[in-house]
Chain A
Amino acid sequence: MSGGVSHVDSWDHKPKLFADAGKTVSVNEFQGRKGDFKMFAKRPQWEFAKHGQCGTEVSALFPHMAGCVDDICLIRSMKSDHTNHYEATLGIHTGSFTFARPSIGSWVSYGLGTENRNLPSFVVIAPKTPYAGGQVWASDFLPGAHQGTLVLPGAEPVANIRRRVETSRLQELELSAMAKMNQRHLASRAQDPLLSARIKSFETAFGMQSEMPEVFDLSKESDATLKLYGLERGSTKGFAWQCLVARRLAERGVRFVELIDVGSSDNWDAHGDMLTHAPLAKNVDQPIAGLLKDLKLRGMLEDTLVVWTTEFGRTPFNAAADAKGREHHHWVFSSWLAGAGVKPGTVYGESDDYGIDVAKDPVHVHDFHATILHLMGLDHERLTYRHTGRDYRLTDVAGNVVGGLLA
């Protein structure tokens, strides 16, 4: 979710923030500036209620996801290193808050390899460009095969996937002539795996042309499934389409699918008015709940990890008592995990009474990454790549697997 979802309006219930709204709060930093600031506690916009067997409190902002709390491991003690969108977005994707590094999806693809050679191993479905642009799904110094393949809703979701020549037969003629030329070339040279790999890549590309469009063809999905996601038949709009396509990609062996709901504007960055969270929540709430239920129905949730996150939270206070919005807040925010070996129906970590800082069991972005890699069967300290003279990791020189999140 791009822009910074307010934790105190969604996943982190702070009764004291409701009770003390309007009272002054002292903080020593505000929007990246150090100093003594007198701020006003701001009342959350949505009421909270207990949900599920576990009784986890979720606000009325996410009524559908609230219904799934028994499958969710909620983290209320997330910590990031930067108060600005660009850096925080880069950080949650790459573990680096300054320079571009390989995306977490690229690391997972590099660590696990591919299960389906007709599809890329890392797919990103993003209708708009997020903060920090394509850097967030780039493989950077990792081999290019691990970069995220961008999918856009519409006629040609993946670049050059549509056959440009008139008939399939014409393309087969071209490919067969090329194969003959390549075989002859290969036979006259010493064994070179690169040459064979290129020959193979054309066979795979031919397969992708039919397999990729099939992924995006939702016509065989039942009405019940579409209803689960809240998707109208024939529509490619909104997060519902993204979530359903994500399930289809996961089913076909794509290792890492990232869904980005909105871009670097008109997003969750509710400086002006918290009510702007409402339509954004409506876009994602039922589809995400639908995805969790659908994965569970198909027995896929056991070995599919679902991660919900944003780049940071929003201030529980503001500079004016009557401010309608909230500012950026990276000291504490909420994210959640579900499936694939995380503890379901639990809450991990706590923020303080107002949701200003972590009170218990902090989970830094590096810890979050280390845990995700662990759940994928990868040791974050051993998943390395040598670049410019040293070994690099997603977690760089930090991060601990958070045992408390694991089932």
Chain B
Amino acid sequence: MDSTPGRGHPFPSPTGWGYTQHGPYSAVYDHNQRSIYLMTQRIKRHPFLTLFDGADPNASTADRRTTTVPTQALYFLNDPFIHAKSEKFAERLAKLGRDDVERITAAYRLAVSRPPTDAERAEALDFLAMYRSELAAAKKGNVDTLAFAAFARVLFGSNEFLTVD
């Protein structure tokens, strides 16, 4: 995430505006800053916020309802953003640990703020081994990063990561 304050959105120049109800203004300006800096467009809700029960920006919403739907799970499985972030996370783990065990510990500490139990460490090692051999069978390169990226997705999709106790 970029922690700097938000700047202006790249709105088109007013001299070129010709928006009508037949051809309305429509844009999503994605960035890596805090979501408070996202542009809110009334007639088109932000796709990510829509998926995760973002409030209707037209109304005052005191109590936001949450839902759990498979399209959210699909996001964790297949969205390019999740895949890009999990690969970045894998690259970061590579620098934090010298071997798989150190990297698994670092991953647990970063994602869920605790070290893995012995059973979890053993399961993670098994997972990485199976994932690497499956990747090799599929003739994929960059096996280490991809296997740790997959491990990152497992952590990011878990209830422990996503819910507050």
Contact = CB atoms under 8 A, between A and B. Distances in A.
Contact of B158 (A141, A164, A181): A181
A133 interface: yes
A170 B134 contact: yes
B80 to A, nearest CB: 7
A181 B117 CA distance: 11
Contact of B24 (A117, A170, A264): A264
B127 interface: yes
B134 A141 contact: no
Interface residues of B, number: 58
A118 B79 CA distance: 18
B60 interface: yes
Interface string B58-78: 111110011111111111111
Contacts, number: 164
A161 B70 CA distance: 10
Contact of B59 (A99, A184, A185): A99
Contact of A134 (B23, B45, B66, B165): B45
A119 B79 CA distance: 18
A300 interface: no
A166 B134 CA distance: 10
A143 B78 contact: no
Contacts of B123: 177, 180
B30 to A, nearest CB: 15
B88 to A, nearest CB: 16
Given A120-B71, A144-B69, A181 B154 contact: yes
A100 B58 contact: yes
Interface in B1-57: 21-24, 26, 43-45, 47, 50-53, 56
B83 interface: yes
Nearest to A3: B22
A281 interface: no
Given A99-B58, A205-B73, A170 B150 contact: yes
Contact of B150 (A117, A173, A181, A189): A173
A283 to B, nearest CB: 18
Nearest to A147: B50
A189 B23 CA distance: 52
A406 B142 CA distance: 64
Nearest to B117: A184
Contacts of A149: 71
A145 B56 contact: no
A159 B68 CA distance: 17
B160 interface: yes
A166 B67 contact: no
Interface stretch (A194-202, A318-326, A365-373): A194-202
B159 A195 contact: yes
Interface in A204-224: 204-206, 208-209
Size band of the interface chain A makes with B: 35 or more
A143 B65 contact: yes
B135 A138 contact: no
Given A138-B45, A144-B53, A178-B154, A161 B23 contact: no
Given A120-B71, A201-B68, A388 B60 contact: yes
A96 to B, nearest CB: 11
Contacts of B151: 177
A265 B22 contact: yes
B58 A171 contact: no
Interface string A116-147: 01101000000001011111001011011101
A167 interface: yes
Interface string B84-107: 000000000000000000000000
A125 to B, nearest CB: 16
Contacts of A199: 159
Contacts of B44: 129, 133-134
B22 A269 contact: yes
Given A265-B22, A265-B23, A160 B134 contact: no
A204 B70 contact: yes
A324 to B, nearest CB: 19
B157 A202 contact: yes
A30 interface: no
Q: Which 9 A-B pairs have the closest CB atoms?
A: A205-B73, A133-B43, A204-B70, A160-B78, A265-B22, A205-B70, A144-B67, A160-B74, A197-B68
Interface of B: 21-24, 26, 43-45, 47, 50-53, 56, 58-62, 65-80, 83, 120, 123-124, 127, 130-131, 134-135, 138, 140, 150-151, 153-155, 157-160, 162-163, 165
Given A170-B131, A174-B153, A205-B73, 12 more contacts: A100-B56, A100-B58, A133-B43, A134-B50, A138-B45, A145-B67, A160-B74, A164-B83, A173-B150, A181-B154, A202-B70, A264-B23
6 contacts: A141-B59, A163-B77, A184-B120, A201-B72, A202-B76, A264-B21
